[in-house]
Each structure stands twice: as structure tokens, then as C-alpha cells.
Structure 1
Amino acid sequence: MTRLPPVPWTARADLAELVAALGPGNLRWVGGAVRDTLLGQPVKDVDAATPLLPEEVQHRLAATGLRSVPTGIAHGTITAVLAEGPVEVTTLRRDVATDGRHATVAFATEWRDDAARRDFTINALYADPVTLEISDYFGGLADLADRRVRFIGDPAERIREDHLRILRYYRFQARFGAELDPAAEAACAELAPTLKGLSRERVAAELLNLLGLSDPASTVARMDKAGVLPIALPERTPDGISLLSQVIAWEQAHAIAPDPLRRLAALLPADVRLADGAAARLRLSTAQRKRLSKAAGRGGDDAMDARALAYRLGMAEALDQMALTGGDPAPIVGWTVPAFPLKGGAIIARGIQAGPDVARILRMAEDRWVAEGFPDAGRATQLLEASIADAKIA
């Protein structure tokens, strides 16, 4: 019998309180916490499954003084608010009907029924909170050992139930997989057109999650070859995969953390209008759209040094530009972008009337300050005096 190794999270006192509140045999840890612990990877969130109905979970938690929030009660999820972090407790479920986007579920009483509705075998591993024994209904332990991401049951059928599983497959394969599953690869290619029926937000979230992994370049290349990427990201360029690989290599060479938005920019054309259109289609935030647009305008500031670029565009935007063009980020790594030490009041105090001239002089002084490498306030004042003299105010 395989057991979870005794790691810190399994010994949490607040989790023991949760287990005691629900009663013997009424809770098992499931999903990512179990999978990642078996892989020796850090665990971020702990999720639990229970045969108890949501209302009974709430009642038992309240009876023992534990607070809960009905975060997804319609789907059986109650969040237990614990001292060391929240835990989602979800009633066992089975699918009644699916349409590729949404599922109608019914509560179940058998652990295997709950496991059968999960996407991949490595995500359907349950651990007893007391003995730490693993319940494996579909060969997930063997797949984990082989680093293989495999659908539970027929891949095509599982994808037809939820089209987003295509993108989830590639994300999990990029993160955990070493050995490819031919049946999964074929099903994803065959059913790639079904991605068109998904919300743009869900597609964007999965793409960014994938691109945020350590090195997803080979996976993205397979997605492109299989016809998945052209549907998920029709704006991609023919040389985008190659540029993505270069950006990843640049990040690794300079010890810069992976950035999914920067990597998305590598896949998109160096065309502000087209990049902005892709961001809008994916329903990205305003800040994300602006950043992608700046990245698409790469090369227009070639004459500007790294610190000036960071000051003018922003730190993340400057790193984007350098990653996409192969620049050296050393001057700005660990550097804090300074604030220009002067305001318009300093100009007005010298007898110049408020208005356009003040803004023009301030820009002149700021440009000189940036060109000199951000000197101290004393030197900034000298540059202001020179700018006033050169402005030749009538």
C-alpha cells in the first residue's frame, strides 16, 4: 500500500481539527496536494473530498467552532476557514450530463464515482488523512511514476464532456509529463475545433498558466502542429515558437523568473494593432493589454539604454523589450526606478507663468536628467536652470 510521505502539511493541527469535525472516514485529501507531495514538490493548496452533503459539512464544522464559507455550495463545495489556510471540502460527485462547457452533477457516495469524473489519473489520487494511505482507482500512481499524463477513460469522450481539457492536458503534460500518451495527443488534435465554443477568459487563463511553466516551448510547438494553438491563439506568428524558445532561454540565462505575458508577446506579431486585438479577444485586463501593446512595439527604442527604457516604459515592459530583442538586462536587475525629483512648482517659483511653458520646460529638464543617468536632486535643479535658459520664454 502506497502512503503519502509525512510532510509538514499532513501534520497541520488545523487539518486534524477538520478531520475530527467531519468524523472518521468522512474525508480524504485529493488532487494537487496528493499528487505534488508524491512528486516531492511544494504544496500550495489542500483540497478534500467527503461523502457528506454540503449542509452536513456546514453543520459539523459549526458544531465544533470551525468557520466555513459556502463558496460553491451548488456544486458541493464548502470552504473551511482554518488557522493555517483555507481548505475546500467538496461532496463526492458524479456527472449526470455534460455539453463540453458545463456539467450537471449529482452527489455521490462512492469514492470511485468521484474519481471517475476527474480528468487525469494523476489528479484522481485520494489520501486517508490518518493513515496517509493512497486510494488509486485508475492507475494514477503508475502514471505518476512514468511521468505520463493520461485521461481517465477514453480521451475523446472526456474532451467532449469538457473542451477545456484539451488545454489542461497540454498544461499538465508540460508540467509533469515525460512520456507522451498517443491516445491523448490524437484526441486533442481531432477535437481542437471544439475550443471555439469556450469562453475567451477560460482559454486565456489556461494559455497563461501553460506559458508560466518553466519551459513550455516544446509543448506549445506540439500544440501548434496538432492544430490546437491556431484555434486557441489564431494571431500567433509562424516564427512565434522560435521566438518563445529564445525568450525562455533569455530568462534562464539571466535568472529572470518566467513571465507568461512576456512569453505570450513572443507568440504574437510585432504589430501593436494586432497584438491589442488578440488581447481584447482574450479579454485580458487593461494593464495586460497595454503591456502586450508595448511589447509589440519592440525595437522602436533601440537607442535607449536599459535604465532609460525602464524609466520610460516600466520595469516589466523594459524586460519584455530586452527579452524579445535579446538585450542585456543586467543594468536594471535589482535596480529601483527613481522618481524625477522636480515638480512644476519649481518652475513657477522662478517667475514663469503656469501653463504650457511649464510642462515643456519640465520635460526638457527630465529628458536631460534621464540622459545623464538619473543624477541627484542638486544636479536635477541645475538641469532645470539650463532648460529654463534654453526655453527662451518671451
Structure 2
Amino acid sequence: MSERLPETEWTRRKSLARLVAALGVEDIRWVGGCVRDTLLGYPVNDIDAATRHLPAAVIDRCKDAGIRTIPTGIDHGTVTAILEDGNVEITTLRRDVATDGRRATIAFSEEWKDDAARRDFTINALYAHPETLEISDYFGGLDDLAKRRVRFIGDAATRIREDHLRILRYFRFATRFGDSWDDEASDACSSLAPTLKGLSRERVGWEMQNLLVLPDPAATLARMRELGVLKEVLPESGAREVEQLATLIEAEKAAKIDPDAMRRMAALLPAIPPVAEAVSARLRLSRSQRDRLVCVARRDMRDGEHPQALAYEVGRDCAIDRLLLTHADPAPIREWEAPVFPLKGGEIVARGVGKGPEVARMLQRIEKRWVAEQFPPRERVEQMLDEELAAR
């Protein structure tokens, strides 16, 4: 693979040239995902930079150049430069002083290799000179990238003991960038899987969502289950649920529906609402995510009989999830907008029914009939009201 970063739209941005001029061409390097993804020909959304300057100096130099900054991670050496073409996170070179599996105590450094050595994978430790675009590769990342191999920098078990979340990061990066499993990494992830219990549940939940939203993580989840990793983060997920995820992904592809982390999370859980509630609480999911998981957990094989009725009842997103998971076609509701029920309680009162529970019950009965008849026009609803009043 080339030892020079190819020129692309982002490397030619004038805003980045201003930033480089402010910090000095020899004191800044593009690093990490923007370098890796450019070499692979992938779209680049986020630009990260490393610098020899201390955070205070970065802020001062940017201010002198008219560049606004935000101290987004100042304790860890990170300052965000606000640029018209997209913000850039600038982090001072660092080395680890102490780690405990959850967080690291760092010291600032002036050596690029010190900073590279504390990164997780070789393909993430590539630095590009902002002017020449020459790449500095300290640990064989270019070769690993060419071979589509995800490999820890140094001893895999040691790196995982420094930060237990690297177990989940390994599976995510191997899914996105790898063609095979690294035996050393797999063994280390398996033996150290119980350390995941010591992590913040939010971090675990976020990492799982990032994995699940990748194009096809089914084989990865099967591998995680085989190695005993999945049971540490989703003990509710057995062989049946992992297979259910694989089936869902095939259904998404057939229906040309984009991946969705919550839909796939639901596939990894048994269809039991209290289980969905418990997982949502444990992973600190948002209220809307929890509601989605619980809604999907209420699915049954009858969902496909009247997809529009289902979408009216539970909302289109949940309905699509349930249809896909019950092997039904979501096409009838892909572009469907639920109609508004054309009857109000006041109209029933105006027809002589006293205000109170009876009005609500009658309204519900008519709405249920309206849905069952697949949303007929107002005239039919008026007929239904006449029938209800006559029966009363």
C-alpha cells in the first residue's frame, strides 16, 4: 500500500491549510480514521489531528489565526477547531502513565511514536504529513491494511487489560476492515471477556450499537458467542437469537432497508417485553430506544396479516421491524402515511350520548372497525356511528 496519502477533497480544503499554518506544518499530522479510510477509498466524515503543541498553545495559536476552538476534551489533550468545512479534533501527543482497564492516566509527549504506541490497532496508528502527505507507520499498519487484517499494537492481552472496551472495538473493526480473525486477538478477547462487566454500561451499549449498524455483523456476533464474549454483554442472546439476526439481515437486504441498530438489537433478544425492558435499563438506552425494543418484543406471527393496521397501531418504524422479524413483507407500509381517524367524541355527544366513558368506548369501537376495514372514507365512518347508536 502507498506510503503517501492520495490527495482528496478534504486534503485540499483551505480551512485545513489555515489550521496547519496556525500550528506549524511540522507540528501537526492527520491521524487515525481519516488516514485509514482515505487509503481504503472510503468516505471520510471526521478529521482528526495530532500535534506536539500543548492544548493551551493550540487554543492560543488558533485564536491568533482567527480560528475558534472548543476545549471538548481538554483534560485528555483534545481541542476542537471550528472550521467552515467541518470541525477538526486536535489532540496533543500522549503516552500512557497508568491504566486500569476503564480509563488511562496520560502524560503529554513530543514524540509521534509515543502517541502511536498507545493506540489500539495498527491500522489506526497511521499519521500523514499535512503538506507532503507522507505517511508515518510505526507498527506495520499499512501492511495490515493491504491484507485487510486487524491487529493489536503489541501484545493483544496487554492492550485489552489497558482498556477492556477494546474487546468490542476489535470485533467492530474486524467486521468493517478485516477479512479474517486474528488468532492472538481472538484468544485474548475470549480469556478476558469477563472484564467487560467492569465497564460503564453506556460504553458497552454504544459500542454494540456501532457494531450492529455495520452492513453485515451476523458472522461477528456468532463468533462473539463462540468465544464467550456475547454472553458478557447480552446474556439473553443464545444461538436462536444469533441466527435470528442473520435471518433479519437477509430480510433487510431483500427489502432494501437500511441497517438499524435497535432493530438488530431486538433480533438478538427473545420476544419477551420484560427482557427488552431489562436490557434497555442495563445498557442505559434512551427512552425512545427502550420503547422501540419493547414494541418489537411484542411481535407475533399475525403481524403480517394487516401491515397497515399494525403500522397504525404501533407506528411505522416498529411495524417495519416486526414485519421483517416475522418474515413478512414491509413494502405496503414503506411509504405509507397513517390517516387521521375522521371522528371526534364531540360528534357522538351531539348525537345524544352523554359525556363520559360511554363516548370513549363507542369511539374506540368505531375506530377499531375503521382500522379492520382498512381505513374507509368519512361516509363509512358515519354509517358505523349510526349502527353503534342504533345498537345502543
The TM-score with structure 2 as length reference comes to 0.96
Partner of 2:381: 383
Structure 2 stretches lacking a partner, 5+ long: none
Residue type of the partner of 1:387? L
Q: Aligned ranges for residues 180-329 of structure 1 at < 5 Å?
A: 180-299=181-300, 301-302=302-303, 304-329=305-330
Residue type of the partner of 1:51? R
1:117-155 residue CA offsets vs partner (Å, 9 max, x unmatched): 000000011111111111111100000000000000000
Answer with 307-316 or 292-301: which moved more: 292-301
Residue type of the partner of 2:92? T
Partner of 1:58: 59
Partner of 2:89: 88
> Could you say if the C-alpha distance between residues 338 and 84 of structure 1 is closer, same or farther in structure 2, counting changes exceeding 3 Å?
farther
State the shift of 1:305 in Å: 0.7
Counterpart-to-counterpart distance in 1, 2:35 and 2:342: 53
SS at match of 1:219: helix
Partner of 2:151: 150
Counterpart-to-counterpart distance in 2, 1:386 and 1:306: 23
State the shift of 1:361 in Å: 2.5
Say whether 1:161 aligns with 2:162.
yes
Answer with 115-124 or 271-280: which moved more: 271-280
SS at match of 2:98: strand
SS at match of 1:178: coil
Residue type of the partner of 1:43? V
The TM-score with structure 1 as length reference comes to 0.95
8 A Cα contact 2:201 2:284, kept in partner: yes
Counterpart-to-counterpart distance in 2, 1:388 and 1:281: 51
Answer with 363-372 or 23-32: which moved more: 363-372
Partner of 2:367: 366
Residue type of the partner of 1:245? A
State the shift of 1:388 in Å: 4.7
1:221-269 residue CA offsets vs partner (Å, 9 max, x unmatched): 1100000001111111331111110000000011000111111111111
State the shift of 1:43 in Å: 0.8
Q: Aligned ranges for residues 327-346 of structure 1 at < 5 Å?
A: 327-346=328-347
Answer with 99-108 or 344-353: which moved more: 344-353
Counterpart-to-counterpart distance in 1, 2:300 and 2:253: 22
State the shift of 1:338 in Å: 2.7
Q: Percent identity?
A: 59
Counterpart-to-counterpart distance in 2, 1:21 and 1:349: 74
Residue type of the partner of 1:139? G
Structure 1 stretches lacking a partner, 5+ long: none
State the shift of 1:66 in Å: 0.8
Counterpart-to-counterpart distance in 1, 2:37 and 2:346: 57
SS at match of 1:4: coil
8 A Cα contact 1:361 1:388, kept in partner: no
